[in-house]
Structure 1
Amino acid sequence: MNAGRFFVTISYFGLSLNTPNMNGDPYLNCLLSALMELGAYVGAWLLIKVASRRAVITSTLLLSGTVLLLIQIVPQELSSFNITLVMGGKFGITAAFSVMYITAMELFPTVVRGMGLGACSMASKIGSTISPYFAYMGAHNKALPYIMMGLLTLMVGLLSLLLPETQGIALPEDVSQVQTLNWGWVVWDWGL
C-alpha cells in the first residue's frame, strides 16, 4: 500500500504541476484541472457506493495510466484533444488517490492503524516531494512526464489487483485478522 501511495502521489501532483507545460492557455488549463478534481471526488464517492473499493482503485488507475500513455500518439496540432486526455488522466488519478485513503484505513488492524496510516502518509509526502521533478522534465520534453507517470500508474493499477477487498468486511482488530494478498485466482494449499 505504501509503494502504491508513493507512485500515485507522484502522478497526482505531477499532473497538477505540469499544467503550465500543456498546450493552450495555462490559466484555463489550471481551471480545468481544478474542475476535474471536483468531478473526480464526486465520481469516486458515487463509485464506492456501487462498486468494490479494489475495483474502483484498479479501474481508475488503469484508465489514468492508459490515457496518459495515449497522449504520445496524438499530434500536437490537436491541442484540445491532448488537454482532454490529460484531464481524463487527472480524473482517474484523483479518484484513485481519494479512494486509497479509505482503503488504507480499512486494511490496517486497529492496533497498528495509526502507524500504518503514518507510513502511508510518509510515502505519499516523499512522492509529492519528488513530483516537481516530473513537471520540470516537461519543460524540456513534453511527452516524457506523461510516459513516466503513465507507466507508474499502470504498474500500480496492476499491483492493486493484489489488494484484498475491504468493502462490507469488519475492520480487523488484531494483526491475526488481516486479510492476505490475492496472488491470483488459483488457491494454493501448501499443507502448512
Structure 2
Amino acid sequence: MSGDLYVNCLLSAVMELVAYTGAWLALKVTSRRAIMSSTLLIGGTVLLLIQMVPEKFSSFSVGLAMVGKLGVAAAYSVIYIMAMELYPTVVRGMGVGVCSMSSEIGSISSPFLVFMGTYYKALPYIVMGLLTLAVGLLSLLLPETQGIALPEDLSQVQPLNCCCYRGEPAAEPEAFKEDQLSAEDRNVQMKE
C-alpha cells in the first residue's frame, strides 16, 4: 500500500476494532452463515477491485484495502464461534484446533503471497481476493448454527447445504428427543 507506513498500520488496527465490534453486534441480529459469507464476499470483491484503481488515487486504494481488511477480520472473528457450534461435543476441541491450525497455515504462507508482488504488483491482491471469494461462496454451504442445539455426537451433525445432495433428510436423532423429555420422564427411564 502506498502512503505512510505508520498511518496505514494505525488504520489497519482501527479496522480490526471496527470489524470485531461490528461482528459482535451483527451476531445478535443476523445469522452466522450470512455474516460469514457476506463479509468474505465483500472483502474478496474489494481486494479484486484495488487493482483497477489508478496509481494517482492511492488514498482510495488504501481505503479499499481497509474495507477488505474489515471484511476479512469480521469473518475471522465469527469463524471460531461458528466452528464451535458446528462440531459435536466429542470432537469439538479437535475441530476447532484444526480450524486454528488451518488459519496459521494461511498466516505462514502470507509472506510468500506478498513476495509475489515483486513480480507483478497486483498479484497478491488477485490471489487473496480470489481465495477470499472462493471461501465466501463455500461458506454458503455450511449449515446455520444460530438458535440450534449444539450437537452432542456425530449422528447429530447437520448436513451441508449442497445443491448436489439428493438424500432424504435424516430422522431426528434420539439424543435430541431425549433433550426434549421432562426431568420426571428421565427419572422414570433411569429407574427402569
Listed as ranges, the matches of 1:1-192 within 5 Å are 22-184=1-163, 188-189=166-167
Distance 2:33 2:169 in 1: 29
Distance 2:167 2:145 in 1: 23
Using the size of structure 1 for normalisation, the TM-score is: 0.84
Report how many aligned residue pairs link the two structures: 170
Opposite residue 62 of structure 1, the aligned amino acid is L
Distance 1:189 1:160 in 2: 21
Distance 1:50 1:144 in 2: 37
Distance 1:178 1:120 in 2: 17
Q: CA deviation at 1:187?
A: 7.1
Opposite residue 86 of structure 1, the aligned amino acid is A
Q: 1:116 to 1:189 in 2, by over 3 A?
A: closer
Using the size of structure 2 for normalisation, the TM-score is: 0.84
Opposite residue 95 of structure 1, the aligned amino acid is A
Structure 2, unpaired ranges of 5+: 171-192
Q: CA deviation at 1:135?
A: 1.9
Opposite residue 116 of structure 1, the aligned amino acid is G
Q: Larger relative CO (CA 8 A, sep 6+): 1 or 2?
A: 1
Distance 2:156 2:36 in 1: 23
Q: CA deviation at 1:137?
A: 2.2
Distance 1:26 1:140 in 2: 21
Secondary structure, aligned partner of 2:7:
helix
